Amino acid sequence: MYSFPGISEDRLAIRDMALKFALEKMAPHAIRWDQDKHFPVDVLREAASLGMGAIYVREENGGAGLSRLDAAMIFEALAMGCPSVAAYLSIHNMCGWMIDRFGGAELRARHLPALASMQKLASYCLTEPGAGSDAAALATRAVRDGDHYVINGQKQFISGAGNDDDFYVVMTRTGGAGPRGITAIVVEGGAPGLSFGANERKMGWNAQPTRAVMFENCRVPVANRIGEEGEGFAIAAAGLDGGRLSVAACSLGGAQAALDKAVAYMAERKAFGRRIQEFQALQFRMADMATELEAARGLLWRAAQALDDKTPDCIQLCAMAKRFVTDTGFEVANQAMQMLGGYGYLSEYGMEKIVRDLRAHQILEGTNDIMRLIVARHIFKDAPRV
């Protein structure tokens, strides 16, 4: 794989460890997981044993204590094995970070060790049937009843939902309309009043379950609240900045795997008496694809470093990176599939799976249209008015 000036040997060693795991433990099974709709919990827990269950949770709270740049490199490497599984792992990490960053000491002590080991599998519950991009309009409500909240409502498109060892970071409404009325609450698997819809049939991401999560008079201790009442939207926004980088990294890794498959195929396949890698038109197309991935990687790393440094433009850069990298990743994977001709369309080669998986990344963690809106707002917020 690539190197980069200024990237330490320790950081490269962590990346290489994740890549070795992806190629040995994930890539050989990715097609079967997709076809069987199998969620490889055992493999996720094996990844957690290497520190990948709580990558940027602080060490004193049981995490690896790594940076967002480290995480971007890790998720890119893991996605070279399976973008779907890597993307779920990124969601799990985001939930753990929210508790580490905003939760109280008791909440951290109670939950972070099990999240770090992935004995508990975390899901993030923000989207609702009537509130996707407009997350501030969510309607799931939590009403205080003594030392409990009683939650009613439904969340939609929840990755990882419905497993035995599950754990949900849920954005609920405890106050009035708008973002200031939203509160983040942990709902543990098995809570009374918690139920799930059927596993959704999807275009891609088949190696992780996606279900509706429903709350009917679901009683949850007030001690499960993350932060204070009314802070939920700010917690969600902070989590999504890093989540957007992680899903972008998964797009980058998936696209890089597709490009590598195309290179290997082109070295073997012959047409008109020549290996197809010798045709200049195809060489030029591959050169463009490799260049676009390298440009995407540079923007992703810059945004990750900005988030680590908490620079004033980090939110804008995270949105830019999410939009550009996921769009680029999908287009490169799609073009790489084209290089294999009819073989690229067959499931056994794994190319069409990558294309299907990466298409989701342009939608989740905020659609790419919403990313454009975020960037535009930053561009024009200080513009002079005439």
Distance separating alpha carbons of residues 18 and 312, to the nearest angstrom = 31
Residues paired with 274 in a beta bridge: 271
Residue type, 205: W
**DSSP characters for 148-183?**
EEEEEEEEEEEETTT-TTEEEEEEEE-SSSSGGGEE
Distance separating alpha carbons of residues 335 and 329, to the nearest angstrom = 10
83-102 and 232-268 are packed helices; what angle lies between their axes, rounded to 10 degrees? 160
Task: At 217, give phi and psi (nearest 5°).
Answer: 50, 45
Q: Phi/psi class of residue 38: alpha, beta or left (left: φ > 0; alpha: ψ in -120 to 50)?
A: beta
* Active-site residue, 365 included: yes
Catalytic residue among 76, 128, 292, 365: 365
- Residues 79 and 250 sit within 8 Å (Cβ to Cβ): yes
Q: Is 31 helix (H, G, I), strand (E, B) or coil?
A: helix
- Beta strand ranges found along the chain (DSSP E): 121-125, 141-145, 148-159, 166-173, 182-188, 194-196, 210-221, 225-226, 270-271, 274-275
Among 121, 17, 114, which Cα is nearest to 61's?
114
314-339 and 232-268 are packed helices; what angle lies between their axes, rounded to 10 degrees? 30
Cα end-to-end span (Å), the chain = 51
Query: What does the block give as tokens for 170?
Result: 């849920």
Task: At 13, give phi and psi (nearest 5°).
Answer: -65, -40
Distance separating alpha carbons of residues 375 and 69, to the nearest angstrom = 21
Catalytic residues: 365
